[in-house]
């Protein structure tokens, strides 16, 4: 009997696999690169919710050769991601709202022109402008030099060109779209980590899901770290915009952030000399370990939320960078396995996770564009429900000194 | 009344803008890249002084993907510059004379293959072969490590691929040609400098002008430095070739240069083990702040001169690298905001300039190929006129020790 | 009379030059790049031993833009090399045997995506997967930082894109094929080394020859180092596979290798936590200075041998990396001018060679795929003949400590 059920499941899986169209845009194994490419729902005769998916090879400056995939849903979101930059999300728009921000770095920098080691390990800042950049997986956090090795800011995944890029569209309504990319962190004797990143989107909807599977392909255990560095500027971020999340505790990242602890969850207008404050958060979750964090505008009719699983991503960093518009007025909501301290400190304090030989782990995050007061209220209610009666513990002392 | 004048000025500006043809060869904003491309005066029906402008994408070795623009004027100069390498001038020829030199580096190295941090900050030397390379703008000078950051030799502008490249040809005779390129030095939290470089050339003439506008796009003041590292070898440089410029003072860059102070302005033949001597010069200028420096050959019938504005570029470095031909027999005439000491020393000694938020500054240099004794004499006379009766003060002691 | 002989020689040389077809696939001087390209013996009407030569431009991940040339001989070997990676040999197959190995690095990494300085000078490991990689020529060996300069692991040649790539096929039977590539290590004031690499292969045969000519183009003497890092995994490497070579002496590279000194020439099965042991060997040679080293499988019916000239390459390193298959189960047979200690130690101990100004030196190595017991026996006999009655001196103490 058990066998029959299993067979049924397998058949269902196979048919679910088969019942989709797929396009391999990039494949290092077969040396495939489609370059400029596009499909749309009319061509595919998938009519209800019009969408298109386009890949474009960029030119000019340090973005020469960078690729961008744009998924456009007429009634939903437009999502841009870059296979050349670790399948990072560049920006998402819909209903007059933009998820993302305006960085002084205004090109999609090809990693060929990056030197992560420069600026004493801050080279990453020469390419940073994403709405969501994967900070990992070999390491993450602020740079540190140990035994002569520079553990550069936020690791290498975000500056790794994808070895495989695949677009999949379900044959069946609602025609879910998946854009998958394979990131390799391969170094003889040092690392053999592979991450299949996946963006899942149903045309017409206001949410999308990131589903990443990280595998340690080596025969030895390997540490890993990941922070999903998700960044929001105008129009959501503004004076009196608020950060909300159900939390067990909050503490300032350093002494400078301590000064902002009183109003840590409320944002100021663009402020000269504000620079950045970072807060370490311990999320509370529902009984399944699920939680949500969001930034919502002053009136409470626009926002962005991220649902994630605290079993996968137990920690949350809130990055408040409400300096002037030109400097990059932005806040980061950053679910992660870690805080943003250097890997040496994270290791010392016991927060660095490990994968055994051959082991995989996954990360699932659902991002929603909150387009109106109703959408915002729903998230606020969910935060309240998870928070319950327990108040947020405020720790005045940073847990570490860099 | 004022308004009317302003309107007139604006109209004039617009018409001067309109009365030109232009081609955008590269544009990161629109992801334009024309690749191999050319125009010429016949096609454009601009008859008097034949010229052509060609862009070519290079291949092979470390120059894979580098672009070179060659402006050829039948009766004037042929000017080669590279958009991939910061709009640097590679070489200029005309009337049997070559401005430029023969470096052991004989490819136009794509910055994708450069590591400026290598060799303890001397990586720049793996690409150095230009007739004129912009050393700046975030910093310049000899490398130095401070707080773990390597301020690499001569900064990054010369190894920055241009984000926009535009060719403009005036409709009206003498059909001035402008080749413009946008260099971005953008790093989140660190720098937001942009430089519009411009080469101006009138077909048939023996001079061209570099006109660069540097803007600090950030909301905070930012230091900048620039040295226009302009380099000349054979046939101008030879035994008894001379350097001339109206000067207030000269001092040796270091103890080794001190040994050559007696004959600092006269060049030797290619000399084994000479290596390089560097001299710090303080130029004198005319009442408008304009001055000139030149290198002229032994007979005084060939040379290269650079006119510049001491309000913009108050300092001048003379680099005497009269080692053997194969090592790179070359002299540098290097107007700048700074000398070539590390940025730490330049800062300490008060020579580093600063741009306020949003502020721009400009640099204008006119290079001339001196094709005969008459052309040389004219420059010599100008140098004498500016020098006047005042003699050059010789300081034996280097102003700094690296 | 002498003159007549010379004339005859010259004529013979010219005719030998002329009696071949050649194709320039890449040429930085003329900016040639043929990209995807192929020829075969049918097209060329060279009938007896069918072969083809194909160049392919790779895509995907960090191999974007890397080129691979595949020489296929129907009855002999298939040889893959990469012009983008220093003309390194990627793998060789024939008669069901593979020369090469399976590295965790499974792409042909374009040096544009490499940072040799990363990981405290171990960045090279992010691209290492070749059957033969040239470790040199400016320096080689384990990384070391001296005066702030990182001498990165095994130098830069293996990560240098070839400036010229030429394919030559002799008109006369046996239609020897030569694939030549020019590697430049050019840095103003630092190095002007050029290496013409050459692969020689006669279709149908089981051997090929590497013939490299290194020239110091500078006007000053320059140190050089080279290790031909030649790597073999399955199916040759297996439990009880053996390393053979006529030797004067063997010593462990370090204390860890000391533990394996007893059985140093026999290989174990893939072994967890084995990591690597390295042995420094002093080869014995025949009266012409020629010698041979080989790895042969357990049954003695498969193997790989390398013949080389001890006047050119006096030292031999044996790298035993019999860790697990996934980590890279591999042995290196590495004829060289040097051992793998950092250049500082090699220099101190007097093993670093020098080229005078303009001087050239050459390196000739013949690799053979030993397809059966007969081929293996022949090499074993040659090893015995050179070894003679003299036994191998075993030095228990490493000659240096890193």
C162 → closest Cβ in B61, B122, B125? B61
Q: How many Cβ pairs closer than 8 A exist between chain A and C? A: 101
Please check whether residue A112 touches C, CB under 8 A.
Answer: yes
- Displacement of CA B301 from its chain's centroid (Å): 23
As a whole number of angstroms, the distance between CA C113 and CA C352 comes to 30
As a whole number of angstroms, the distance between CA C195 and CA C355 comes to 13
Which H or E element spans position C388?
Answer: none
Average pLDDT of chain C, as a whole number = 95
Confidence label for C337 from pLDDT (cuts 50, 70 and 90)? very high
As a whole number of angstroms, the distance between CA B62 and CA B105 comes to 10
Confidence label for B4 from pLDDT (cuts 50, 70 and 90)? low
A31 → closest Cβ in C59, C106, C117? C59
What 3-state class would DSSP assign to C169? strand
Interchain CB distance below 8 Å, B112 and C112 = yes
Please check whether residue A184 touches C, CB under 8 A.
Answer: yes
As a whole number of angstroms, the distance between CA B142 and CA C128 comes to 33
C188 → closest Cβ in B104, B107, B118? B104
pLDDT at C313: 98
Residues on chain B touching C184 (C-beta within 8 angstroms):
61-62, 106-107
Interchain CB distance below 8 Å, A129 and B188 = yes
| Half-sphere CA count of A340, side-chain side, radius 13 A | 24
As a whole number of angstroms, the distance between CA B381 and CA B16 comes to 35
User: What are the pLDDT digits (tens) for C288-336?
Assistant: 999 999 999 999 999 999 999 999 999 999 999 999 999 999 999 999 9
Instruction: Report the top-level CATH class of B22-394.
Output: mainly beta
Interchain CB distance below 8 Å, C63 and A116 = no
How far CA C192 is from CA of B276, C157, C187, C189, in Å, comes to 18, 13, 6, 8
User: What are the pLDDT digits (tens) for C1-23?
Assistant: 445 555 544 544 454 555 899 99
Contact between B179 and B198 under an 8 Å Cβ cutoff? The reply is yes
As a whole number of angstroms, the distance between CA B79 and CA B77 comes to 6
Please check whether residue A31 touches C, CB under 8 A.
Answer: yes
pLDDT at B1: 40
Average pLDDT of chain B, as a whole number = 95
User: What are the pLDDT digits (tens) for C104-154?
Assistant: 999 999 999 999 999 999 999 999 999 999 999 999 999 999 999 999 999
Look at residue B103 and tell me whether its pLDDT is greater than 60. yes
Please check whether residue C60 touches A, CB under 8 A.
Answer: yes
As a whole number of angstroms, the distance between CA A212 and CA B368 comes to 60
Give the distance from residue B69's alpha carbon to the nearest chain C alpha carbon, in angstroms. 14
Stretches in chain A below the pLDDT threshold 50: 1-2, 12, 15
Give the distance from residue B122's alpha carbon to the nearest chain A alpha carbon, in angstroms. 13
Q: Residue C286's closest CA among C206, C209, C387, C374?
A: C387
Interchain CB distance below 8 Å, B32 and A60 = yes
Residues on chain A touching B149 (C-beta within 8 angstroms):
119-120
Interchain CB distance below 8 Å, B31 and A272 = no
pLDDT at B26: 98
Look at residue C394 and tell me whether its pLDDT is greater than 80. yes
Residue to test with chain A: of C54, C59, C61, most A Cβ within 10 A: C61
Contact between C177 and C201 under an 8 Å Cβ cutoff? The reply is yes
Please check whether residue C31 touches B, CB under 8 A.
Answer: yes
B107 → closest Cβ in C163, C189, C192? C163
User: What is the CATH architecture of C21-394?
Assistant: Distorted Sandwich (2.70)
> Rounded mean pLDDT of B239-257?
98
pLDDT at B48: 83
Look at residue B12 and tell me whether its pLDDT is greater than 90. no
As a whole number of angstroms, the distance between CA C321 and CA C316 comes to 16
As a whole number of angstroms, the distance between CA C343 and CA C349 comes to 10
Residue to test with chain A: of C101, C104, C105, most A Cβ within 10 A: C104
- Displacement of CA A96 from its chain's centroid (Å): 21
| % residues pLDDT > 90 (chain B) | 94
A107 → closest Cβ in B28, B147, B218? B28
What 3-state class would DSSP assign to B373? helix
Please check whether residue C195 touches B, CB under 8 A.
Answer: no
Please check whether residue A104 touches B, CB under 8 A.
Answer: yes
Interchain CB distance below 8 Å, A59 and B26 = yes
User: What are the pLDDT digits (tens) for B350-364?
Assistant: 999 999 999 999 999
Give the distance from residue B59's alpha carbon to the nearest chain C alpha carbon, in angstroms. 5
pLDDT at B27: 98
Instruction: Report the top-level CATH class of A23-394.
Output: mainly beta
Contact between B44 and B21 under an 8 Å Cβ cutoff? The reply is yes
How far CA B277 is from CA of A63, B26, B272, in Å, comes to 39, 39, 13
Q: How many Cβ pairs closer than 8 A exist between chain B and C? A: 101
pLDDT at B47: 74
C105 → closest Cβ in A147, A149, A186? A186
As a whole number of angstroms, the distance between CA A189 and CA A218 comes to 9
pLDDT at B392: 97
User: What are the pLDDT digits (tens) for C49-101?
Assistant: 999 999 999 999 999 999 999 999 999 999 999 999 999 999 999 999 999 99
What 3-state class would DSSP assign to B257? helix
Please check whether residue A148 touches C, CB under 8 A.
Answer: yes
Q: Is the peptide bond before B202 cis (omega within 30 degrees of 0)?
A: no
* DSSP secondary structure letters along A100-152: S---S--S---GGG--TTHHHHTGGGGT---SEEEEEES--SS-EEETTEEE-
How far CA B36 is from CA of A63, A288, B41, B66, B67, in Å, comes to 19, 59, 18, 11, 9
Output B208 or B46, whichever has higher pLDDT.
Answer: B208
User: What are the pLDDT digits (tens) for B35-86?
Assistant: 999 999 999 999 789 999 999 999 999 999 999 999 999 999 999 999 999 9
Residues 6+ apart with CB under 8 A from A179: A53, A69, A71, A81, A87, A165, A166, A167, A168, A198, A199, A201
Q: Residue B143's closest CA among B116, B109, B161, B183?
A: B116
> Rounded mean pLDDT of C198-223?
98
| % residues pLDDT > 70 (chain B) | 96
DSSP code of C321? E
pLDDT at A5: 53
Look at residue B207 and tell me whether its pLDDT is greater than 50. yes
Q: Give the dihedral of Cα atoms A132, A134, A140, A143; nearest 10 deg.
A: -60
Please check whether residue B103 touches C, CB under 8 A.
Answer: yes
Residue of C nearest to A150 (CA): C119
Interchain CB distance below 8 Å, C60 and A115 = no
What number is the ipTM of this complex?
Answer: 0.94
């Amino acid at each position: 009997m058990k066998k029959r059920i299993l067979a049924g499941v397998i058949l269902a899986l196979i048919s679910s696999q088969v019942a989709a169209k797929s396009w391999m845009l990039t494949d290092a194994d077969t040396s495939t690169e489609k370059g400029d490419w596009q499909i749309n729902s009319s061509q595919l005769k998938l009519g209800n919710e019009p969408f298109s998916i386009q890949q474009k090879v960029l030119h000019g400056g340090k973005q020469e050769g960078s690729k961008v995939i744009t998924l456009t849903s007429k009634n939903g979101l437009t999502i841009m991601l870059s296979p050349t930059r670790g399948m990072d999300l560049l920006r998402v728009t819909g209903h007059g709202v933009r998820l993302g921000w305006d960085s002084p770095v205004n090109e999609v920098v090809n990693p060929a022109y990056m030197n992560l080691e420069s600026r004493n390990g801050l080279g990453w800042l020469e390419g940073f402008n994403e709405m969501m950049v994967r900070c990992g997986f070999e390491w993450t956090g602020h740079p540190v030099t140990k035994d002569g090795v520079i553990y550069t800011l936020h690791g290498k995944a975000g500056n790794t060109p994808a070895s495989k890029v695949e677009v999949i569209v379900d044959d069946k309504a609602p025609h879910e779209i998946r854009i998958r990319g394979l990131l390799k962190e391969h170094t003889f004797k040092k690392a053999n980590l592979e991450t299949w990143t996946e963006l899942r989107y149903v045309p017409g909807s206001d949410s999308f899901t990131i589903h990443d599977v990280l595998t340690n392909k080596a025969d030895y255990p390997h540490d890993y770290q990941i922070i999903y560095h998700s960044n929001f500027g105008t129009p959501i971020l503004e004076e009196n915009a608020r950060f909300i999340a159900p939390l067990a505790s909050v503490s300032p990242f350093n002494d400078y952030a301590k000064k902002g602890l009183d109003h840590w969850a409320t944002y100021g207008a663009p402020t000269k000399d504000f620079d950045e404050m970072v807060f370490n958060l311990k999320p509370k979750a529902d009984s399944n370990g699920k939680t949500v964090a969001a930034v919502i505008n002053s009136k409470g009719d626009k926002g962005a939320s991220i649902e994630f699983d605290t079993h996968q991503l137990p920690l949350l960093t809130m990055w408040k960078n409400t300096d002037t518009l030109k400097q990059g007025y932005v806040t980061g909501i950053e679910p992660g396995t870690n805080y943003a301290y250097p890997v040496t400190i994270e290791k010392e304090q016991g927060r660095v996770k490990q994968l055994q030989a051959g082991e995989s782990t996954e990360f699932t995050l659902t991002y929603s564009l909150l387009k109106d007061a109703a959408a915002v209220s729903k998230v606020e209610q969910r935060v309240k429900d998870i928070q319950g009666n327990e108040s947020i513990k405020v720790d005045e002392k940073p847990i570490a000194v860099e």
